[in-house]
Amino acid sequence: MQVNIKKIKPNAKIPTKGSVHAAGYDLYACLEESIIIKPNETVKIPTGLAVEIPSGYVGLIFARSGIAIDKGLAPANKVGVCDSDYRGEYVVALKNSGSNNALINGGDRIAQLVVVPIIDINFNEVDVLSETKRGENGFGSTGI
């Protein structure tokens, strides 16, 4: 699939895959100066890129396991949703859930972008839903 991408800033890096079979494309920090994210702080990190996600798809921004585990950094909203009609810069709000300051340099991999198809649905309001064995049993009802 061809996806158009625009560098908004000249030092922006085009997303890359960490391995041949990786689902996500690494997003890079586009910074003039390094940033320190203090514990429990959230900082918006620019990528310097705008992406044209094709109609019928969505771009989802997830944490990278390396910086999530090593530095406690992950998107503050857990998963960023990039709609196909958005044309602005991709910015990742990184939250430091760790106990130490975290340093982000320009060119650091800060998150990953996964492009997935969207199923267009229509909600059908009904008075009764079909029954299942689980029924209305919620959190933890199927085991830990």
CB of 80 within 8 A of CB of 89?
Answer: no
CATH superfamily, domain 4-117, is Deoxyuridine triphosphatase (dUTPase) (2.70.40.10)
What is the per-residue pLDDT for 37? 98
d(CA 120, CA 5): 25
Mean pLDDT throughout 47-61?
98
User: Which tens digit of pLDDT belongs to each residue from 91-105?
Assistant: 999 999 999 999 999
Structure tokens belonging to residue 113: 């972008």
Residues 6+ apart with CB under 8 A from 116: 57, 58, 60
Confidence band, pLDDT 50/70/90 cuts, at residue 140 = confident
- The pTM of the full predicted model, rounded to 2 decimals, is 0.90
pLDDT of residue 144 exceeding 90, the answer is no
Q: How far apart are CA 72 and CA 61, in angstroms?
A: 16
pLDDT level of residue 19 (50, 70, 90 thresholds) = very high
